[in-house]
Homo-oligomer: A and B are copies of this chain.
Amino acid sequence: MTALLLIILGGLCAVAYGIVTINDVMKRDAGTQRMQEIAGAISEGAQAYLKRQYATIGIVGIVLFVALAYFLGLKVAIGFLIGAVLSGAAGFIGMNVSVRANVRTAQAASTSLGGGLEVAFKSGAVTGMLVAGLALLGVALYYTYLTRGAGLAPSSREVIDALVALGFGASLISIFARLGGGIFTKGADVGGDLVGKVEAGIPEDDPRNPATIADNVGDNVGDCAGMAADLFETYAVTVVATMVLAAIFFAGNGPVLESMMLYPLAIGAACIVTSIAGTFAVRLGANQSIMGALYKGLITAGVLSIVAIAIVNYTLLGGFSTSFTTTTGVTFTSAGLLGCAVIGLAITALIVVITEYYTGTNFRPVKSIATSSVTGHGTNVIQGLAISLESTALPAIVIVAGIITTYALAGLFGIAIAVTAMLALAGFIVALDAFGPVTDNAGGIAEMAGLPPDVRKSTDALDAVGNTTKAVTKGYAIGSAGLGALVLFAAYTSDLNYFIANASDTQYRFFKGVSVDFSLSNPYVVVGLLLGGLIPYLFGGIAMTAVGRAAGAVVEEVRRQFREKPGIMEGRDRPDYGRAVDMLTRAAIKEMIVPSLLPVLSPIVLFFVIQAIAGRSQAFATVGAMLLGVIITGLYVAISMTSGGGAWDNAKKYIEDGHYGGKGSDAHKAAVTGDTVGDPYKDTAGPAVNPAIKITNIIALLLLAILAHS
C-alpha cells in the first residue's frame, strides 16, 4: 500500500505543479486593452468549439458507456468513463491555460526573448504535467479502488477489462479531438492563408482577415487540446497495456504480481517528479539558443529519471539482482528491467535529436527544401516529399534497435517497460510541444495588436523552434506506438490464449475449438497485415480531403465578407470573426465522424466478415495481423507526414529569415506552397494516425472481452 500511496503522491505533485504554475502565469502582465480583446475573442472561439466537440463526442460516449455496461458490466463502463473524462479534462485545462498564456507571452516577448520563452514554456509545462499526472492518477486510483475497494484480484479479468476500457475512453476522446481539432486548425490556416496572403496580399495574422481569429483558435483546439488528448491516451494505453502484460506474465505469483503491476505506475510517478525538476533547468543561455535551453531541461529530466527509476527498482523490486520468471518461462533480473527503462529514455533522446535534424533550420533537410524553392513550387514540393520519405529511416532503425535490445534483456515485458519509460517523460515532452501553439498565438496577437516588429521577431524565433518540438512530440508518440505494437499484440494473443485455454460449455463458449495460426505462411495473416496497412492510408486520405474542403469553405466565407463589406480591406469595417469560427466548428465536427469510425469499426467488421468466410480461428488470426499491419504502415505514414510537414514549415521560415531573397521573393512563394501542403500533413492526418493505431488495438481487446461474455 505504501507504494500505491507514493504513486498517487507523484500524480498529485503534477497537479500541484499545475496549480502553482497557472497562478504564476496568470499573474503576468496581460498587455494592452487591444491585446486582451484579441485574446478574449480567441478564447471565446476555442471554448465554443470545445464545448460543441465534447457535446458530440458525449453522445457517442453515452452510447458506448451503455453498451459496455450491458456487455461487460458497470465497472468496465466506469473505467471507460474515467478515461474519457480525464482525457477531455487534460485537453480542456491545457487549452484554457494556453488561451490565457498567449497574450502574456506576447507581452513578455516585448521585453526579452528569455521572458517570452519562460511564460510560453511554463504554460506548456502545465499542460504537460496535467497530461501525465491525470493519466497516472486515473489509472492508479481506479486500480486501487478495484483491487482494494472492490477487493478484486489484480490479475482478474474484471480488473484487466476495466483498465483496457479506461484506455478505450482515452482513445475515443483522442481520435475525435486530434481529427476535429486538426481539421479546424488546418482548415483555418490553409483557407486563411490562401485568401489572405495569396489573393488579398495581406500578411499572416492581419486583423483585416476574417479568418485570422479562427486560425488562432485552431492552434489552441488542435495543437494544444488535441495534442493533450492524444498524449494522455498514449500514456494511459501504454501503462494499462504494461499492467495487463504484468497481470498475465505473473498471474498467481502473489507478491511479485502486485509489484510488477505497480512497477509501470511507479516509473510514471518517479518521472513526473524528474520532469518537474527538468522544467526548472530550461533557461536561455548566453548564446540565446532556444533549442539549447530546452535541451538543458530535457537532459536534466532524463538523467534524473535514470536515477529515479533505479531507486524504484531498488525499493519496489527488492534490489537490482532479484530475478523474475514469467508464466511463459522468460527469466530476467531487476537490473535487466532497469536497462530496458534506460533504453526507453535513450530512444526518446534519439528521436528528439533525429527530429531536430530533419525539421530544424540548421541542417541539410530543411536547407535542401529551401534551396529547391528557388526553382519553383514543384521542386519545393518534390524535395519536401523526398525528405518526408527519407525521414522515416533513422527513427525506424532506432525503434528496431530498441525492440531487439530490450527483448534480449527481458523479453516482451522488457519492451513494455521501455515504452513505459519513454512515456513516463511525457510530462516534459508535452511541455516542449504545448509551448508551440502559445508562441504561435503570441505572434498572431502581436501582429493584430500592432506591437513593434521586434516582438514578432522574438515570437517567430520561438515559433520556429515550436515547429521542431511539435514534430518531436508526434515522432515520440508514434515511436512509442511502434515499440508498443508488440506489447499490444502480446496483450491480444495472451488474452486470446487465455480464453481458448479456459473455454468450456459453461464459460468462454465462443472460444471452444478455436486454434489460431499467427504464422506468416497463413494467408489470412497476410490479409490482415494488408488490410491493417490500408487503414493509415485511407484514414490519411479522408483527413486530407476534409482539410481541403474546410479550407475551401473558409475561402468562400472570407471572399464573401470582403465583397459585402469593402470597408474591411481599408480598415474601416470590422470583419465578422465569429462567422468563420462558427463555420469551421460545424465543418470540423461533421468531418471528424467518418474517419474516426474507420479504425473503430475496421477490426469488428473484419472479424465478422472473415468469420463468415473462413471460420472463427482465421478471423482471430486476421484481426491479430491487422493490429500489426496498422502499425507497420502507420509508423511510416505518420513519421513521414509529421517530419515532412515540420521541414516544409521551417524551410519557409528559413527563407523568411532572409535567405534566397527572403519574404516576397519567388522562392518564398514556393515555400509558402510547401508549408500549405505540409499543414494538413503534419497537423491533421499525420498525428491522428497514432490514436488510430491505438484504438484499433484497444477495440480488438474489447472485442475479445465481449465475445468471451457472449
Contact = CB atoms under 8 A, between A and B. Distances in A.
A400 interface: yes
Interface in A173-220: 190, 193-194, 198
A637 to B, nearest CB: 8
A447 to B, nearest CB: 21
Nearest to A524: B404
B614 A485 contact: no
Interface stretch (A20-28, A123-131, A376-384): A376-384
B378 A194 contact: yes
Interface in A485-538: 485-486, 489-490, 493, 518-521, 523-527, 529-531, 533-534, 537-538
A345 interface: no
Interface string A672-694: 11011100110000000000000
Contact of A378 (B386, B393, B640, B673): B673
Interface string A358-391: 0000000000100010011111011101111111
B672 A386 contact: no
A389 B555 CA distance: 24
Contacts of A633: 533, 632-633, 636
A285 interface: no
A700 B709 CA distance: 45
Contacts of A673: 376-378, 381, 673
A530 B481 CA distance: 13
A393 B540 contact: no
Given A378-B194, A548-B383, A633-B632, A526 B614 contact: no
Nearest to A551: B379
A291 B399 CA distance: 47
A396 B534 contact: yes
B393 A486 contact: no
A537 B640 contact: yes
Nearest to A521: B493
A625 interface: yes
Interface string A82-107: 00000000000000000000000000
B415 A379 contact: no
A427 interface: no
A404 B527 contact: yes
B629 A632 contact: yes
A677 B382 contact: yes
A382 B636 contact: no
A408 interface: yes
B489 A389 contact: no
A181 B518 CA distance: 41
A381 B376 CA distance: 14
A279 interface: no
B415 A520 contact: no
Contacts of A629: 632
Top 9 closest A-B pairs, CB basis?
A378-B676, A389-B541, A390-B541, A386-B544, A377-B673, A386-B545, A518-B520, A381-B677, A407-B523
Given A378-B675, A382-B676, A392-B534, 15 more contacts: A372-B548, A376-B676, A379-B676, A382-B544, A382-B680, A383-B544, A386-B541, A388-B541, A390-B538, A390-B545, A400-B527, A493-B520, A519-B520, A520-B628, A526-B628
11 contacts: A194-B376, A379-B676, A382-B548, A385-B681, A386-B542, A387-B541, A393-B538, A393-B541, A397-B531, A399-B530, A518-B519
